[in-house]
Amino acid sequence: MKKKPLLSFWQLWNMSFGYIGIQFGFALQNSNLSRIFETLGAKQDAIPGLWIAAPLSGLIIQPIIGYMSDRTWNRLGRRKPYFLVGAILASLALLILPNSPALWVAAGMLWMLDASINITMEPMRAFVGDMLPDEQRTKGFAMQTFFIGAASIVGSLLPWLITKALGVSNTAPEGIIPPSVKFAFYTGGIIYICAVLWTIFTTKEYSPEEQAAFEGNEINDAAKEGDELVLNTKKYFTSGSIYLIAGLITTFIIYQFGWDKEIYILSLAIAAYGILQLITAQLYNAGQRAGLVEIIYDMNNMPVAMKQLAVVTIFTWFALFAMWIYSTNAITSTKYNMKVGKEVVLAMQKDIDAVLKQPSIDEKTKHQFEALQADINDINKYRPNDNPVNVSVNLANHYADSANTIFSAADKVELKRVGKEYNDGADWVGVLNSVYNGVAALVAFLLPLIARRFTRVKTHFLCLLAGGLGLISMYFFNSPNLLILSEIGIGIGWAGLLIFPYAILSSTVPQKKMGVYMGMFNYFVVIPQILAAALLGLLVKTVLNGNAIYAIVLGGIAMIIAGVLMLFVKDPKDRHSL
């Protein structure tokens, strides 16, 4: 069996350069989507449900793209055709999304954006396993992490930079996306396609014949395909029936208790997996050995280390998704002054009641004022005795508008101040995101050196511990500037997450199934995101008394648990942690 040659620093640079584009897309999405949703009228507890489009697209697309790219070879290559298609679609989504005229359009564009990013990203992770020998893979993922961190610094800062450097406004009338956010998304779309094209034109993939020479004979269960597959169809029929029944019963319970509709995604996913097990058994009995049969077989025969990493990853990504969903709301509501006198809120309530009681109210106005009423309801439920009291940016923007006549000029100045505080805080969230990504970029090349001394498993444990403590500390720092200290810990955790699970995974799974297993590993990134989207809104609304900052603390606890679980992962090739 031939050994893959070691690649130079600049070869590693070129093959990972496309991640600049991918991460520009993610940075703009993570830093601005909650802001866009809130601007278009979304309620705080509805935002997790809107974000659910992103992980769902990855759940469906990544394993399929991985399976297809494992079997692709054309003039462009094996993985590169998917880089290109994903980049074109993602760039278009970045251009369209900030011009969304309504909330449902923005949610749809988020789905398109995240699906397109997944089409690019999954093959690019498998690309490291394709192109590098085992002893260089940690460095390969470290290079990707460097680009992720560096691109995220600029991507997260873009709206703020455009406002500060070019004087483009970061505020807009009610229901309108600020110009600085629009121009940031336009810039990101251009950078995305250019960065991916750089990787496509500067990196030559190994041919199928070369890969076969490198792979040798892979005889473990996870490597089997075609006629080698042997399925116990009775087991598949039994487990499929159990999953289907369990999913349907759970769905009925959710309906009976009137729980949040996002939780249906979990119950229906369980039922859907049961159906896939049943279909797989039926197809196998009919002589089918490829496609769905092989994907489900591979899922049921994951290597042990992959299963262990899956549990760690579920807790880690739950923590990150909590931060991405709630950081804007948590920081603006606790670190910035968005308070007005209670008499102002009472005047708003009186006006809203009067408008909604009008018999001739049109649907657009009714929908608008029902959203404002929901914000008032939150105040009455969670902050009934506060004076002054926190108000939402939607209330502030609506009643600061010059067309409203119920408030004096002085009151409108105060409401405009609240709107500015929110947008300043939202911009600072972008700065904070750039800090943790900058830290990740800086430590990316240091972590492989530490892992060589302490093993990949122990190094990732320390990274997750730092990340968890960083998230929890956000509760205790009152000054927005001090949150930079929190972001340092989060950045270390983020760097470890982007390097070690994928390095260990690429050392564990069969080379010829690198794509499908990298895509399948995304299940354990997506499942906690669905859990977060389904449960965090309910928790914030009930147990956490409307305080979004507690969701971030909960995320920190989850990341520390992930670190402890990491210590139980068996890395089969720790001696190669270079």
DSSP at 26? H
Q: Quick check: 262 pLDDT over 70?
A: no
- Percentage of the chain lying above the pLDDT 70 cut: 92
Sign of the alpha-carbon dihedral angle for 473, 484, 326, 272: negative
Question: What pTM was computed for the model?
Answer: 0.79
The burial class, CB within 10 Å (0-12 / 13-18 / 19+), for 343 is exposed
**pLDDT of amino acid 578:** 41
SS3 content of the chain, % helix, strand, coil (to 5): 80, 0, 20
Task: Pick the most confident of 30-39, 134-143, 239-248.
Answer: 239-248
CA–CA dist 357, 346 (Å, integer): 17
What pLDDT is stored for residue 196 in this prediction?
92
Average pLDDT, the chain: 85
Longest C-alpha distance within the chain, in Å? 81
Q: Please, are residues 191 and 20 in contact by the beta-carbon 8 Å criterion? A: yes
Tens digit of each residue's pLDDT (9 = 90 or more) over 40-84:
776 655 665 566 666 677 777 888 888 888 888 888 888 899 989
Between CA 109 and CA 92 the distance in angstroms is 10
The CA distance from 137 to 502, in Å, is 9
**What DSSP element (H or E) covers 308?**
helix 304-335
pLDDT digits (tens, 9 = 90+) for 146-157: 888 888 788 877
Q: Per-residue pLDDT tens for 185-197?
A: 898 899 999 999 9
479 DSSP assignment: S
Q: What is the pLDDT of residues 195-244, one digit of tens each?
A: 999 999 999 888 877 777 776 555 566 666 666 778 889 999 999 999 99
Paired residues of 339 in beta bridges: 390
**pLDDT at position 145 over 60:** yes
Judged against a pLDDT cut of 50, whether residue 576 lies above it is answered with no
**HEC per residue, 147-215:** HHHHHHHHHHHHHHHHHHHHCCCCCCCCCCCCHHHHHHHHHHHHHHHHHHHHHHHHCCCCCHHHHHHHH
16, pLDDT greater than 70: yes
User: Kind and range of the H or E element at 314?
Assistant: helix 304-335
Among residues 258, 265, 238, which one has the least CA distance to residue 56? Answer: 265
Pick from 2, 11, 316, 372: which is nearest to 174 by CA? 372
Contact assessment for residue 79 and residue 126, using Cβ atoms and an 8 Å cutoff: yes
pLDDT band at 368 (very low <50, low <70, confident <90, very high): confident
Pick from 121, 177, 140, 161: which is nearest to 507 by CA? Answer: 140
Residue 3 pLDDT class (50, 70, 90 cuts): confident
